[in-house]
Structure 1
């Protein structure tokens, strides 16, 4: 147990000093924990390790006392193309200033008795990163490389109560640490209420706190498991160094999300699972407000209460996964997920900085039990390339902007069961 606590302390340090993250369902992770990643993120009713805290904390009642530590490597390919622009912005722009991102996670569950389990998880909630060595906004007076870097980390203590032999309820406190930086957009200072705090101010951080609640139930001789979760919106501190960029003087919150899931044991060896999740991006003004030139001209500049955002829509995420016990030591996994498009085609110009256009993921994974206490897991996900094209406002020379992104995601984890 002392060794597990030391691992958790180390993970907190690693998470807080990590420089970047890049996620896929908008800027959330597609799956929390390597096992869930192998099932394309299905985890609301399929409880496989202590990282269930990040999706449904009620699952702690069903995974036993254990510690899980993982490492996920992201390799996103993001790009933009501007065409038919009257101000000379035409060109193809590669946003891969950084190509690889490493995100650690770790979680611990301890069964206090037959009814109560306590857990703690540290994990990356998501993020977004772009780095354009060739500035796509150079024609508008911007110099140097352009891009953004957003990282969000959760530290989540949790408790689960098994109030009957077949049902449990859990709650986790989501303690948020996030960090942000923007570069290469200072030429838009004339559209900001605080142009000195719009771009190139270095890294800034903020914190906040919220909650996640979950329920789980087993039915029909435990062949069917149902689950539900809800994560509150987190009202985070402002990014003071970017109060001239984000709406409401640098406010950047974490949107609420919720979902339901089911897992069905078709045979003793084969389990099928499905989740439906909702993420309400539009509730965060810095993300959901539209980039409306008419509003800019009416005084609603960057950084004001009604200032521009990225115009992201709320999305539904649909996930299906399969797990097969090939041998007593080996479990195989696969999954597919699809989400609505968060980026509207009318909002592509500003979203060159945050081209979160991916909609589909295909995953495979496996776990090998080394002995009754130890296991290792691996998962690979390919986020299929997607493209969104939209018109540029005549105020910025008109024409079209097309955004593209795909990702390769590889995860490894080690689990120890007490």
Structure 2
């Protein structure tokens, strides 16, 4: 039992404030979130335009600055079970559920666009948290080392102490901040192109760290490691000027430096290891239509995890550390509608669907990967406080729509017929819901102040 669960890899993703599809954020800012994240062909606010299609900022002819802040709450649950006899001859089956106790996390976004009536050039700058995860699963109190251990009650073996074969307290923190500098150019009054070089900074902390080689004392905890990197985004935007709009954008892989972990094991021995994790390429297509009091937006995105370091590989190394996530590509459908029939108070509804990148065969390698939200629903509105100031708000609710589940894996059982070492009769599963309240404020400078 002790060696079996020490092999559990837990470093999958669960959002603190950003992602809804794998570890990709669903939208940026209260306005864009309330449209389900759809913005590739419908640039209704500057944050969504800067995030999803750099060419679409040509729709703005003013100098605008926007800031958003949200409070994000997730409620992931991690469960597992082992069949009878796994804890010794005659021992009963054990199973249990552990709830995350992380609490509320912040979600900020900052954007700015410089436009001018009659100019073919539009510029923008943004600082967005484009990815993040974090879980806090406490150690199982009802474990084999506790005096009152009762295996017939709720007892989650994954959260047993490492001395008892589990992982104990599981905690992770990851964030990726992206700064973008955007330029759009109008080839004609209907067609624009855009380019955005991107610069990234990220941090990651794991407890324990399954990317490191385990020792006799189990897997280590780590310091908070950092990474930096760069990439780009390119876009095309078409506005018919009679309501119909179309857009396409491509965000390249964000090539990141390797995380360098300084590890500390339970016996106080130390070591180091590296882990290479990039941000995947994203291809987006969008359609938009505006008429009278209605704006409609639909986006489709493909997230290319299969060709991204950290996600393309999976399985065990020869020393029982974990190669990577083993994720499939993700398809995302975003849709939103805005109604402007109420003076100064436009209303919005949004919906987002995401496929899951995690198959049952690799569910174990992504134990806290509770960031997989299949269906998300949003309601939002704006209030025009003046000709210069607009306030935005959104409420989001998402659900994984069922558990992601598989079997517990053990590298010592791996073979040609059982490549990941699945333990017969075992289970591991996780699911979650998410809730977000976000507000934003945008300020439009007087036109006479705008200079290029």
Instruction: Give TM-score, length-normalised by structure 1.
Output: 0.85
Q: 2:257 aligns with which of 237, 251, 259?
A: 237
Q: Kindly indicate whether the alpha-carbon contact (under 8 Å) linking 2:304 and 2:329 is maintained by their aligned counterparts in 1.
A: yes
Pairing partner for 1:222 from 237, 242, 246: 242
The residue aligned with 2:440 is 413
Q: 1:87 to 1:181 in 2, by over 3 A?
A: farther
Cα deviation, 1:41-79, whole Å, max 9, x if unaligned, reads 111111122211111111211123211100122101111
CA contact (8 A) 1:50 1:107 kept: yes
1:130 aligns with 2:163: no
The alignment status of 1:351 with 2:362, answered yes or no, reads no
Query: 2:416 maps to which residue?
Result: none
The 1:287/1:137 distance shift into structure 2, 3 A limit, reads farther
Whether the 8 Å CA contact 1:130–1:354 is kept in 2: the answer is no
User: For the aligned residues, what is the CA RMSD?
Assistant: 2.6
Matched, 1:70 2:95: no
Q: TM-score, normalised by structure 2?
A: 0.79
| 1:114 aligns to 2:119 (yes or no) | yes
Match of 1:12 in 2: none
Note closer, same or farther for the CA distance 1:138–1:188 as it changes in structure 2 (3 Å cut).
farther
Q: Is the 8 A contact 2:36 2:378 kept in 1?
A: yes
Partner of 2:36: 40
- 2: CA distance between counterparts of 1:93 and 1:185? 22
Alpha-carbon offset, residue 352 of structure 1 = 1.6
Of structures 1 and 2, the one scoring higher in RCO (CA 8 A, sep 6+) is 2
- Deviation of 1:188 after TM superposition, in Å, equals 7.6
Following superposition, the deviation at residue 243 of structure 1 comes to 9.4
Q: Give 2:227's match in structure 1, choosing from 206, 222, 234.
A: 206
Map Cα deviations across residues 346-376 of structure 1 (whole Å, 9 max, x no partner). 1222312322321111111101111111100
1:105 and 2:109 correspond:
yes
Deviations 1:12-66 (A, max 9, x none): xxxxxxx954421111111112111001111111112221111111121112321
Helix, strand or coil for the counterpart of 1:165? coil
- Counterpart residue number, 1:264: 289
Which residue matches 1:15?
Answer: none
Q: Which whole-Å CA distance do the structure 2 matches of 1:199 and 1:222 have between them?
A: 60
CA contact (8 A) 1:129 1:354 kept: no
Contact 1:137 1:185 in 2 (8 A): no
Q: Are the counterparts in 2 of residues 282 and 313 from structure 1 also a CA contact under 8 Å? A: yes
1:30 pairs, out of 2, 26, 29, with 26
2:378 equivalent to 1:363: yes
| Count of residue pairs the alignment pairs up | 383
Structure 1 counterpart of 2:193: 169
Residue 109 (structure 2) pairs with residue 94 (structure 1): no
Query: d(CA) in 1 for partners of 2:169 and 2:81?
Result: 20
Decide which structure has greater helix share: 1
Instruction: Report the structure number with the largest CA radius of gyration.
Output: 2
SS in 2 for 1:98: coil
Given that residues 342 and 356 in structure 1 are in contact (C-alpha distance below 8 angstroms), is that contact kept between their aligned partners in structure 2?
Answer: no
Distance in 2 between the 1:301 and 1:312 partners? Answer: 19
Contact 1:74–1:409 (CA under 8 A) maintained in structure 2: yes
Residue 110 (structure 1) shift: 0.7
8 Å contact kept, 2:407–2:423? no
Task: List structure 1 segments (4+ residues) > 6 angstroms apart after TM superposition.
Answer: none
Q: Secondary structure at the match of 1:350?
A: helix
In structure 1, runs of 5+ residues without a counterpart are 1-18
CA distance in 2, matches of 1:30, 1:151: 15
Question: Any gaps of 5 or more consecutive residues in structure 2?
Answer: 1-14, 88-92, 141-157, 265-272, 414-421, 446-452
1:290 is matched with 314
| Deviation for aligned residue 1:114 | 1.4
